[in-house]
Amino acid sequence: RPEPLYAYLDRTASSYPERTAFVYFGSHVKYKTLADHSDRVAKALREMGVSKGDIVALYMPNHPAFAVAFYAAAKIGATVTPMNPLYTPGEVARQARDSEARVLFTADVQYDKAIKANEEYRFEKVIVAEMTEYMPAWLKPIARRQIRAPRIKYGGAVVKYAELLSYEAEGYRAAVKPEEDVVALMYTGGTTGTPKGAEITHANISSNLQQLKPFYDVVRRSRGIGADAPLVLVGVLPWYHIYGQVTVLHYSIFDGDTVLVYPRFDLKKILSDIGKYKASVFHGVPTIFNAIVNSVDVRRYDLTSLAFCISGSSPLPVELARRFEAATGAPLREGYGMTETAVVTHLNPLLNGRHKAGSIGLPLPSTYAAIADLEKPELLPPGQTGELVISGPQVMKGYHNRPEENKEAFFNCCGLRWFRTGDIAYMDEEGYFYIVDRKKDMIKYKGYSVFSREIEEVLYQHPCVKEAAVIGVPDQEAGEAPKAFVVLKDECKEQIKPADIIKWASERLAPYKRPRYVEFRSELPKSAVGKILKRILKEEELSKWA
Ligand code: ATP
Ligand code: MG
């Protein structure tokens, strides 16, 4: 049965009070501290008048205070809306307006932007956590000099996070209906357009944690780690995004695990910590695995403790997975999920031989996945390509204040309520799913459907290609024609011409799928979670053609 999210923290903190929840710059934050601090902050929020159903915004990098604030809000039945720390003040204000946030938690490093946002949208309180909070005492003065956070004017609406910790814990828990009450208003990645708020209930997240457990338990079994010891998870993914928040932050609390917390992406530090803390589970995105393969000498690090690396959020090129496994010896498996399905719906099994390269794997337990007609509310027979649709306890209640989008996103069929993912996929005869492309990235060449992803896979096989993205550009004769944007590896920059790439692709793809144009770039536009933003490339192209 789904439970309120706070129940997991209560249980873990009472079973393992002394266990480390977070390692933060060498400091070990224990479960009893996380439980106690979130109780205190819950009390402080209640004193501020925040109650069930109110919106609490979190605009800060990964930090123990993020987790404290999240669980404090959950305990009083409030709804958290996390914001990308890279957001500008205008973007913060936009999400605050859309969600009708009442208070904002932020960090000293974000203070200037938070205060500007507060001029546009008046929060009742702006609570500022210092990045040095929870660091070891000896490190604080050094860290302060390095961080050089702006001077903070406390007083009025601006409150110091540390002050909230002086409130008396009262152990209050709001009565929560897990299937109805929204614990988080999560905004989508903004890859294809303006981010939309997805209403995520307590049950959505707690179901997904239960569904993921068998996968992490395989790690425990394979490494002989019993329930009496934590798994150590690498916390490189940002918690404001659903992927890292559910699979790392909430999962670790649910399972009593330890997270290595990083406010910033520092690859060398992360790789050396893996050996130091014997981390076994590493969630990442293709750009991170790409950086590990291409930008560092992995032989300098002890990565033998890594038992399960998981890639999600965008397609994992088969060639990249192969090279990562060869370089590190760690198994890398692809999974799939989205904000609206809080978060994972598919994952490849860890066991060798049970996974399939290029596939997102099998649906999680209690998850129905099918292929639907792109327009009609009908499921297609096995083997056909169409839109991936999902039904399961992790599927969101709906988009916040977006009746039109909700109408398009859901349909009923065969006794189930299906959610349209916007991704094109097919299922093989063994039930493994393959993402072909995003619906919005499909190219129409003379009436043929060309999937940008298929061309990208071929480009990634070229020994000189570091990154590739294919979009459709206007073509008088064909309607649209594929154009590839390519980032070359440093060692190849002088030797290769666009025509060589076109030739390579032409030898491997049917004529209608061949990229008609290739442009070299030194980098590709990316979102904060590392997704290549094809819509920016498209906008640039369209402005040239206009
Ligand atoms: P927006 O909906 O605002 O345009 P977004 O879809 O990128 O942004 P997220 O919810 O963060 O926002 O991402 C979900 C999407 O990520 C999926 O719909 C899918 O397109 C993509 N995705 C996730 N995992 C994979 C994967 N393994 N392979 C291919 N695509 C993936
Ligand atoms: Mg989306």
CA–CA gap between residue 50 and residue 67 (Å, rounded): 18
CA of 483 to the centre of ligand 1 (A): 21
Confidence of residue 530 (pLDDT cuts 50, 70, 90): confident
Both tokens of 489, joined, read 């590896």
Contacts 24+ apart (CB under 8 A), 443-449: 443/470, 443/471, 443/472, 443/480, 443/481, 443/482, 444/472, 444/479, 444/480, 445/472, 445/475, 445/478, 445/479, 445/480, 445/481, 445/482, 445/512, 445/513, 446/477, 446/478, 446/479, 446/512, 447/479, 448/512
What's the whole-number average pLDDT of the chain? 96
Ligand 1 centroid – CA 213 distance (Å): 22
Choosing from 435, 451, 527 the residue with most ligand 1 atoms within 8 A of its CB, the one to mutate for a pocket test is 435
Q: Which two tokens stand for residue 283?
A: 């969630």
pLDDT, one tens digit per residue, over 333-362 is: 999 999 999 999 999 999 888 999 999 999
Q: Report yes or no for ipTM above 0.95.
A: yes
Distance CA 310, CA 481 (A): 33
Q: What's the gap in Å between 134 CA and the centre of ligand 1?
A: 33
In this prediction, residue 544 has a pLDDT band, given cuts at 50, 70 and 90, of confident
What local confidence, expressed as pLDDT, does residue 13 receive? 98
- Round to whole Å and give the CA distance between 346 and 352: 17
Average pLDDT over residues 356-381: 96
CA atoms of 246 and 235, how far apart (whole Å): 11
Checking if the pLDDT of 488 tops 90, the result is: yes
Q: What is the model's pLDDT at position 353?
A: 84
The rounded Å distance from CA 157 to ligand 2 centre is 35
Residue 442: helix, strand or coil by DSSP? Answer: coil
Ligand 1 pocket, residue 348 CB under 6 Å: no
Q: What is the mean pLDDT of residues 191-203?
A: 95
Token readout for 71 is 């669980």
- What's the average model confidence in pLDDT over 48-52? 98
pLDDT of the residue at 149 = 87
Q: Ligand 1: does its nearest atom lie under 6 Å from the Cβ of 84?
A: no
Instruction: Quickly count: other Cβ atoms within 10 Å of residue 463's Cβ.
Output: 10
In three state form, how does the secondary structure of 324-342 look?
HHHHHCCCEEEEEECHHHC
From the CA atom positions of the chain, what is the Rg in Å?
23
Protein residue with least CA distance to atom 23, ligand 1: 313
Whether residue 46 has its Cβ less than 6 Å from ligand 1: no
Nearest to 515 by CA among 467, 430, 455: 455
Which helix (H) or strand (E) segment holds residue 13: the answer is helix 5-15
- Which bound ligand lies closest to the C-alpha atom of 242? 1
Ion ligand 2 — residues with CB < 5 Å? 188
Q: Which of 336, 362, 402, 451 has most ligand 1 atoms within 8 Å of its beta carbon, as the pocket-test mutant?
A: 336
Q: Which tokens sit at 218? A: 């395989």
Q: Which helix (H) or strand (E) holds 347?
A: strand 344-347
Asked if pLDDT for residue 520 goes beyond 80, the answer is yes
DSSP state of 72: H
